[in-house]
Amino acid sequence: MLRFRVAILRKTEGFTLVELLIVVLLLSIFLTFASVNWNVMAKKGKGALLEDFSVDISVIKEDAVSNYENRIIEFEIGTGNMRVGALDEKGQFVEIKKIDLSEGYHVNDAVINGQPFSAGKCYMTLRADGLVDRVILHLQGDDQDDRYSLVVNPLTATVTGENGYFDESRFTGRNNPS
pLDDT higher than 80, residue 37: no
Round to the nearest angstrom and report the end-to-end CA distance of the chain. Answer: 106
- Number of neighbouring beta carbons within 10 Å of residue 86: 16
Confirm if 150 and 158 have CB atoms less than 8 A apart.
Answer: no
How far CA 13 is from CA of 6, 10, 16, 25, in Å, comes to: 20, 10, 10, 22
Q: Contact at 8 Å (CB) between 38 and 48?
A: no
The whole-chain average pLDDT of the chain stands at 83
pLDDT in tens, 42-92: 556 788 888 888 889 999 999 899 989 999 999 998 777 899 999 888 888
Find, among 56, 54, 72, the residue nearest to 64 by Cα.
72
pTM for this predicted structure:
0.69
Distance from C-alpha of 90 to C-alpha of 150, rounded to nearest angstrom: 32
CATH 3.55.40.10 fits 68-171, yes or no: yes
Nearest to 96 by CA among 132, 63, 129, 133: 63
Domains of the chain, by residue range, sit at 68-171
Is the model more confident about 12 or about 108?
108
In 3D space, the residue among 151, 130, 132, 1 whose CA is nearest the CA of residue 65 turns out to be 130
In the sheet that holds 82-87, the strands lie side by side as 93-99, 82-87, 71-76, 121-126
- Taking the C-alpha atoms of residue 56 and residue 78, their distance in angstroms, rounded to an integer, is 20
